[in-house]
Amino acid sequence: MLRLPFLAIANLLLLLRTLLGAPFRMFAAGSRPAYVRFRLTGDPPYREQRKPRFSLGGGSKPEPADVTSLEKFGEALRLLARDAKVKGVVLEVEGLGLPPAKRDALLALLAEFRAAGKRVVTWAVMVDTDSYPVLCAADEVLLAPMGRLELVGYAAESTALGEGLSRIGIRPQFIRRGDYKTAPELFTHPEVSDIQRRTVESFLDERYAALVEAVSAARKKTPEEVRALIDQGPYSAQRAKAAGLVDGLVSEVDLPLHLGMVEKKDGVAPEDDDTELEPMEMYLETVPFPPVKWRRWKRKPRLAFVPVSGMIVPGSGNAGGRFATSDAVVKGLRAAARDKRSKAILLYVNSPGGAAIASEQILEVVQRVAKKKPVIAYMDRVCASAGYMVALGAKELWSAPHAVVGSIGVFAGKFDTSGLMQQLGIHKTVITRGANAGLLSFSRSFTEGERAALEADIEEMYQSFLGHVAKARGRTKEEIHALAEGRVYSGLRAKDAGLVDKLGGFEEACRYALSLAKVAPGDFELKSYGAPAPRMSLLKLLMGAAHPATYALCPVSWDLSGDAKETLVSLADEPEVDSWLRRFAHKLRGTVRAP
């Protein structure tokens, strides 16, 4: 009850500010823009994250027109759709990097806006294959005259370092459970295996088919025509217009003139005209009574958001990075469970895998928390291997159609650097007490006894993984084994295989989680718990991965872009491995000769 007087005062101040500013906004209403400008760049979040009250800074401030979240963008579009004076929006696309699920959510917002009778005009200087479906989901698609359309389809490039490592005297020794657990092949194979190739091709086929369908529908062309156009890419702006892939070529400064926002005299636009496309905040200054965020008497229901983003590793850490530590995730889950305002929990998993022991720690906590509150696991990028194990503790698993799911398997091993040390004139002798005490030594290969012990340990770990999946999915271990051995699925195929429960978007998953907590449909707030861990070295992790409790990684999490990318794992940082090898080669130049 103590908060009620403060809420009343806060709302009174908001009312006064609105009323005092109304005359100025009424005066400016005559210059209300017909089109409002938005800028889509990077990877804006689904929803705004609550910012700390006090901050020491850091990070760049977004531009006024930047879309900072799909939630805020949707709110802006719905407000503009109700304004009869607004004709539409101009969406500038620049360096967009959305996963397919988020792109679909964005396209749904634009479709809703267009269904309200408003126009969407998209404009870009350069756009790639992934961004093009966003660009062409409009009434009019424009490019800058000097622009380019990099519509070339998708490529994924897999790497095999086995022969290169052998030339400098390094012998990778990895033991895996499952032919489809191909992550170690990066280091062990001289060439990309057929299994790896077929797996990559299955994802390329699925993504390519979705691209053709989207472009075909948007540009009113047959699938055959679209495939032919993709094969003729990339395009200059002039060629893109001639091919019917864009509607016009307009420079940024001429956009207001092109949209009819500049008043012409005798059919000619004045040379000194300075009309510009204004962002949403400038539009709000022309609305006499803009929407006000009143302080609510009754708080919105809260959904806890616990991210598991990056490779899962044991230990603690709270700095920004690409790894999820078990300590940070466990603390986040426990805090979400204690929060009485959080009625349910969305476990957002974007991980290619990681440490089996860390993932089992997190799984156990997810299972305990799920007994107190509804927990829904959602995946829109990668939920594989140890990442998939973490998700098993949720009540239901939701996936985006093109997410990477599965990779149920285990591998472990080490690098034998004895050949390299011999070439450098370095001599090491491993002296042990205990048959397997030298298991982790880089100075020699596994002995027969060490290899047998490691194989037994890996088999036990694999059977444990199968048991977790079988229990969570209500299947037998034999049924799961037929789906496992490292096989990787898209969300669509994972749903058919029974590895996920539902296909859907982020907002759908959030609202479903709240519905399980008996929360009435409506607005809600999202509060994040848990923090990412510091950046770590994949190479260091692999070189210490001589025990199956250390590693269970998904072999493939590709960036299926128009340009070929390195593709062990998006979080595996192959450039770091490449840099490491180049440093070795530089040091050994003149000493080591390629056979």
Interatomic CA distance for residues 494 and 431, integer angstroms:
49
Task: Check the CA dihedral 55-60-65-68 and report its sign.
Answer: negative
How sure is the predictor about 197, in pLDDT bands with cuts at 50, 70 and 90?
confident
542 vs 186: which has the higher pLDDT: 186
Helix/strand/coil for 267: coil
Asked if residue 17 has pLDDT above 90, the reply is no
- Show the beta-strand stretches assigned E in 269-384: 302-309, 311-313, 323-325, 342-350, 353-354, 375-379, 382-384
**What gap in Å lies between CA 90 and CA 104, rounded to an integer?**
19
pLDDT (0 to 100) of residue 91: 94
pLDDT at 482: 93
pLDDT of 498: 95
Pairwise CA distance, residues 383 & 378, whole Å: 9
Note if 158 is an active site residue: no
- pLDDT at position 335: 93
Q: What is the pLDDT of residue 534?
A: 46
Report residue 547 as tokens.
């025990």
Question: Residue 182 and residue 554: Cα distance in Å, rounded?
Answer: 8
Question: Active site includes 385?
Answer: yes
How far apart are the C-alpha atoms of 28 and 269, rounded to whole Å?
A: 23
Quote the pLDDT of residue 561: 43
CB 440 within 8 A of CB 432: no
Look at residue 467 and tell me whether its pLDDT is greater than 90: yes
Question: Is residue 181 pLDDT above 50, yes or no?
Answer: yes
Cα angle 81-139-87, degrees, rounded to a multiple of 5: 35
CB 375 within 8 A of CB 574: no
- Tell me the per-residue pLDDT of 87-109, one tens digit each, with 9 for 90 and over: 999 999 998 888 899 999 999 99
Helical pair 194-219 and 223-231, crossing angle rounded to 10 deg? 120
Looking at per-residue pLDDT, the higher value among 62 and 472 belongs to: 472
| Average pLDDT of every residue of the chain | 81
pLDDT per residue over 294-335, tens digit each? 566 667 889 999 999 988 988 876 544 578 888 999 999 999
Tokens of 27: 């005066």
Kindly state the greatest CA–CA separation across the chain. Answer: 97
- The per-residue pLDDT for 413 is 86
Asked whether the whole model's pTM tops 0.75, one would answer yes
DSSP readout, 239-259?
A: HHHHTTSSSEE--GGGHHHHT
367 vs 13, higher pLDDT:
367
The answer to whether 62 and 362 are in contact (CB under 8 A) is no
Which pLDDT score, from 0 to 100, does residue 373 have? 94
Q: Which residue among the candidates 131, 385, 407, 418 is catalytic per the annotation?
A: 385
Please tell me the predicted confidence (pLDDT) of residue 102. 93
What's the whole-number mean pLDDT along residues 263-285? 71
Domains and CATH numbers, the chain: 32-152+233-284 (3.90.226.10), 162-200+300-588 (3.90.226.10)
Residue 81 pLDDT level (bands cut at 50, 70, 90): very high
| Residue 443: per-residue pLDDT | 87
Give CA–CA dist 408/430, Å, rounded: 35
Q: What is the DSSP string of 428-483?
A: -----SSTTTTTT-TTSPPPHHHHHHHHHHHHHHHHHHHHHHHHHHT--HHHHHHH
Asked whether the predicted pLDDT for residue 341 surpasses 60, the reply is: yes
Q: Which of 87, 102, 118, 181 is catalytic?
A: 181
DSSP element (H, E) containing 91? strand 88-96
Q: Which two tokens stand for residue 288?
A: 């006499």
Question: Would you state the pLDDT for residue 556?
Answer: 44
Q: How far apart are the first and last CA of the chain?
A: 80
**Model pLDDT for residues 393-447, shown as the tens digit of each residue:** 999 999 999 999 999 988 888 888 888 888 888 888 888 888 888 888 888 888 8
Per residue in 125-149, pLDDT (tens digit) is 999 999 999 999 999 999 999 999 9
d(CA 478, CA 582): 45
pLDDT for the residue numbered 349: 94
**pLDDT > 80? residue 563:** no
Q: Could you tell me what percent of the chain has a pLDDT over 70?
A: 77
d(CA 382, CA 541): 20
- Let me know how long the chain is: 595
